Structure 1
Amino acid sequence: MTHENPLTSWDDYPVHQSANVIAHAATSDRNFYDRYYFLMHPSSDEMAAIFGLGQYPNLGVTDAFVAVRKGDGHHVVRASKPLVDRMDTSVGPIRVEIIEPLRRLRVVVEPTEHSVSMNVTWTASVPAIAEPNQFIRSKGKVVFDTQRLAQTGFWEGTITVNGETTSVTPDHWRGCRDRSWGVRPVGEPEPAGIRQGVPAMSGMWNYFPMQFSDHSIFFINNELADGARALEQAERVWPDGRIEQLGRVEWHHDMQKGTRLMTHSVLTFPDAPGGKIEVECTSLLPHFLAVGSGYGLDDDWRHGMYQGPDLVVHGRDYKVDEIAMRGQFAVVDHVARFEYDGNVGYGLYEQAFMGAFPRVGIAEARSMAE
């Protein structure tokens, strides 16, 4: 794609959704994005690797990252470049390869002078499901209008952190992934105008994709401080494609006092098919994803932020104790164990508290659980 010729390789495929070329999104909203997210873990507290790649057509940027929590270390490799062809799912040393759509993908982080490299292949354990559309309008402006697909699966390959290579085998390396697209805040901050002091989202965010031996459960709850729910989903998915609606969930979260971190939860599904089920959730390893990877805590690096006309690659290494305080004020992605009715599984235990949430002991926007 150039200023003179907007065509790219995608324009030779019958995938258009409007009269625009693929390089031009159907919406002119600057915040339009298209993104991959993956979590990889060994079903234990040893390690958690999270990686993502996003395209921001109306900002002209594509970027990617890998963030690994291992022991007391938080290791990030991130890259950004101008977006030219939307079929190019690589940014410097980081790339995503689609081997079989919705079934097998590969994530590669080529070796550099930085602390993380990997070559791993994902195989789905259940069919991908569509999550409910997330739509938030704030004082007339659409802030969120997004769609995601979600899936659990297994990993195979190798990952190297600080020179130590670990074999990744599908007998116990599991994870989840999502693909999301639409409109959400990205890039450099916009002038707030009438929305000054109004957060893009508020309340509690929970997202738990749980992978058991023969099925998965997907749970979402964006609950406001007054108890209203802006978004929720609870589905049990089987490898043959069956989807069971589990109904409205009732929840109880145990907090680590003096923090904003969840440590343990009980989810009750009174209307589940076959009778009530209770899922016990136990955090194994919190991962402060938002530090260094572009999720909003770093002024110099946010998803979609223009980093210049050439490829930029950074490495960042932190001690977890140094980032935990600020990291817990954004999304935190725990590896967790899930148990119910004799089933034991593992997966993502994602949490965020945006502002006060008195029900878990967070009395004010910047306070900790009491």
Structure 2
Amino acid sequence: MLSPMDDYPIHQVAEVIRHVQTSDRNFYDRYYFNCHGPDENSPWLIVGLGVYPNLGVTDCFAVIRYHDEHIVVRASRALGADRSDLRVGPFTIEILEGLRRLRVALDPGHGDLAFDLTFTATGPAALEPRHFQRQMERVFFDTQRFVQTGAWSGTLTVDGRDFEVEPEAWRGNRDRSWGVRPVGEPEPPGRKAAADISGTFFWTYSVMDFDKYAIVVIVQETETGERVMDDARRVWHDPGREPEWLGHVAHEITFIPGTRETAEAILRFTRPTGAVTTVTCRPALANYLAFGTGYGLEADWRHGMWQGDLKVEGLHLKVSELDPTMKLFCVTDHFAHFVLTDGDTEHLGDGLFEFAAIGPHQQYGFTEYTDPA
């Protein structure tokens, strides 16, 4: 079946646009956005929309942390043929100017959250390294992603309170990723149920925004510290300057006692010359985005899971009442402040510090899934 996108010269394989090259059920195509105000007393909003061509599903979520409020609106629908239709129930994503301006909106009346926001890039979109991983011979991850910092404008309503979002004070980043990763209903484990496969997911992903550049850090490790991903790059706001590799990443995480939540993180980037750049990350506000949004905690709502032709739900929880055990299996997105030390100079920035320490990890002494610090 043809769609309007087929009229553009963008085909990559001998198929119509709605058919991707692989028949792997886990193929996905996703948008992610975050938006924060000037400090930790402001709302901390995260929005995601995913398309799952081989599952026939598209879904979207918004989750906001504001003081002790954890508010989620989520929606899912049958995908259909038109990939340019980025509406899921009350959600809309509109590409106003590719790689420059996008509109993200959630109509009121579907919970305690609504917004109509425009993202305007403050720097170029930068490709990240390819993420590739096998598990028992099968490709488990094979994804490509780009990241971009920007400023927000528009309106935001949280639990009955209205915010005027001005670009001077409201910032954030977005990313686009696509490829293969686990999505949809759980598959039968088969041989994996009898195999000794480490489920450790130690992950640091940070997008730090400074005056003249952003720094993007990606680290994924196994239980022993072997690196699946290891990258740190400076992305200049000036699109005429090429991104700069900062070197290999070492981390020193200080945990909040009794949890695996981050109190502080020190990241060191070492170049082959021996030059070291250090960033101290101080999380200011945590958004436990896995609660209610489809990242795997709830068996009845996962990204790409079939929910029927259209389903829309709203959740309103208290952060102080979230299950602390379930947090151990969560990726957490922090609004964070950063201090970068490069030689004798210091630079201040803020942005995203995303972190998870799920499963055993030798460096930090975790031997079981539920060991706290």
TM-score (norm: length of structure 2): 0.94
Partner of 1:320: 319
Please tell me the root mean square deviation across aligned C-alpha atoms, in Å. Answer: 1.6
Q: Is the 8 A contact 2:221 2:227 kept in 1?
A: yes
Q: Distance in 2 between matches of 1:113 and 1:235?
A: 39
Equivalent runs, 1:1-370 vs 2, <5 Å: 6-46=1-41, 47-84=43-80, 85-196=82-193, 202-241=200-239, 242=241, 243-271=243-271, 275-308=275-308, 310-325=309-324, 326-340=326-340, 341-369=345-373
Q: 1:227 to 1:29 in 2, by over 3 A?
A: same
Give the C-alpha shift of residue 43 in structure 1: 3.7
SS at the partner of 1:359? coil
Q: Distance in 2 between matches of 1:211 and 1:360?
A: 28
Q: Distance in 1 between matches of 2:14 and 2:77?
A: 27
Q: 1:159 to 1:199 in 2, by over 3 A?
A: farther
Question: Gaps (5+ residues) in structure 1?
Answer: 1-5
SS at the partner of 1:289? coil
Q: Distance in 2 between matches of 1:301 and 1:12?
A: 35
Give the C-alpha shift of residue 274 in structure 1: 11
Q: Distance in 1 between matches of 2:185 and 2:270?
A: 44
Q: Which is worse superposed, 80-89 or 351-360?
A: 351-360
Q: Is the 8 A contact 2:335 2:351 kept in 1?
A: yes
Q: Which is worse superposed, 192-201 or 37-46?
A: 192-201
Q: Distance in 2 between matches of 1:96 and 1:82?
A: 17
Give the C-alpha shift of residue 113 in structure 1: 3.8
AA aligned to 1:319 is K
AA aligned to 2:319 is V
Q: Distance in 2 between matches of 1:272 and 1:161?
A: 48
Q: 1:360 to 1:324 in 2, by over 3 A?
A: farther
Q: Distance in 1 between matches of 2:370 and 2:44?
A: 27
CA-to-aligned-CA distance 1:270-289 (integer Å, 9 cap, x gap): 32999422111001011100
Q: Distance in 2 between matches of 1:345 and 1:272?
A: 26
Q: Is the 8 A contact 1:260 1:362 kept in 2?
A: no
SS at the partner of 1:194? helix
Q: Which is worse superposed, 359-368 or 12-21?
A: 359-368
Q: 1:113 to 1:229 in 2, by over 3 A?
A: closer
Q: Distance in 1 between matches of 2:182 and 2:270?
A: 36
Q: Is the 8 A contact 2:225 2:362 kept in 1?
A: no
CA-to-aligned-CA distance 1:18-52 (integer Å, 9 cap, x gap): 11111111110001100000011114212210001
CA-to-aligned-CA distance 1:267-317 (integer Å, 9 cap, x gap): 112329994221110010111000100110011111000001x21110011
SS at the partner of 1:342? strand
Q: Distance in 1 between matches of 2:220 and 2:86?
A: 30
Q: Distance in 2 between matches of 1:12 and 1:185?
A: 31
Q: 1:226 to 1:274 in 2, by over 3 A?
A: closer
Q: Distance in 2 between matches of 1:237 and 1:186?
A: 30
SS at the partner of 1:195? helix
Q: Distance in 2 between matches of 1:142 and 1:200?
A: 16
Identity, % of aligned positions:
47
